[in-house]
A and B are shown apart, each in its own frame.
Chain A
Amino acid sequence: MNESPDEIEALLPWYAAGALSYEDRVRVETALEARPELRLSLATLEEDRDETVALNQTLGAPRADVWARIAQAATPRPLTFGQRFAALWGPRPFLSLAAATAALVVLLQGATIVALLRPGARPPAYETVTAGRSTADALAAFAPDAKMADVAALLDQAGASFAGGPKSGGLYELRLKSQPATRAEIDAALKILSGSPLVKLALPGAGG
């Protein structure tokens, strides 16, 4: 016989577990008051539940080396370029960078004033507007999910290394390893950088 339970009967296991909504609980309790066979069903069910719990509790637990296996395989994932940068500079990297830059400017100003006030100091010579600008050979912005190891390998391939940054727009200053870099060397490096999916943007720098 393949009879179907009535709706209240079908809810009894979850009533016993306290897992019913308020409305369903009220429906079951009202039916329990009116129908003795439901009370018998509930009593039977509670015995079944107690023995099911008892049976499961005899089943033990995994051995300690199961966690050791998991821990061995769950090695820390390599950080993305952005995460490595954040770890280096703290949770708010741009604020930290701005603070460090401001401190450097104050120090340089102090040193300049001391040098100018020194007896016999000569007034500063005329400088072009480009003096003091970045001498980076190239500027590059990287994809947010780029991994540090991959970026380092790419820079190595392009014969470049980090010289500073990030500047506005997430641009990092790059310097070529061969100094002074020729225009052709910079163009070749830019070609490699631009061709990589790790790089969002690559431009010649002020020193290039």
Chain B
Amino acid sequence: MGDTDSDLLARVAKGDNLALKTLYGRHHVKVFRFALRILKSEAAAEDVVSEVFLDVWRQAASFEGRAEASTFLLAVARNKAYSQLRKRRDDQLDEEQAGEIEDLSDTPETTLQKKSKGEVLRACLQKLSAEHREVMDLVYYHDKSVEEVAAIVGVPEGTVKTRMFHARKRLADLARAAGLDRGWP
């Protein structure tokens, strides 16, 4: 049986870089994708990945016995990604936000003709606000519980549940606007 993440962290705390490599092998892809969804830049997401794992190397002892490794790795990645976002100039942020505005040039019917149901939904997922996208990614892709999402995002558990509901509702609205009415809500 392989080492658990906790075993690996304990070894990293003792300066074992092979354990760090194993931990990296297990989690780097998901950390990268989570950061990429926030930053929308592969280079910036890669910087976050390297910073996260260097933090683990330097402070492994302080991470021991805390949350599940994947949860605190995502929490650290989120902090670093938002810190990078804050450093970006306002005009860059404006440009990115403009990119998130729904493209209404096609009518719903032509959108559906051009795309499959899955493609429409994926396009709508891209149009969600950062807050809604984040909670959906954490629950659906990263398999995080209510408590874990609350820990990563830094909001109360009740807020996580409400935010998830509104994210689903917003996605349904976007899908309906794109011609895909699934009857909910």
Contacts and interface: CB of A to CB of B under 8 A. Distances in A.
B9 interface: no
Given A4-B162, A17-B140, A67-B24, A41 B185 contact: yes
B8 interface: no
A47 B146 CA distance: 20
A44 B118 contact: no
A13 B164 contact: yes
A71 interface: yes
Interface of B: 15, 17, 20-21, 24, 28-29, 32-33, 36-37, 42, 45-46, 49-50, 53-54, 57, 117-118, 121-122, 125-126, 136-137, 139-141, 143-146, 161-162, 164-166, 168, 171-172, 182-185
Prevailing SS type, chain B contact patch: helix
A48 B46 contact: no
A52 B144 CA distance: 14
Nearest to A44: B184
Interface of A: 2, 4-5, 9-11, 13-14, 17, 19, 37, 40-41, 43-45, 47-56, 59-63, 66-67, 69-71, 73-74, 76-77, 79
A11 B161 contact: yes
A44 to B, nearest CB: 4
20 contacts: A5-B165, A10-B161, A10-B164, A13-B164, A37-B184, A40-B183, A41-B184, A43-B184, A47-B117, A47-B121, A51-B121, A53-B141, A61-B32, A62-B28, A66-B28, A67-B21, A70-B20, A70-B57, A73-B50, A77-B15
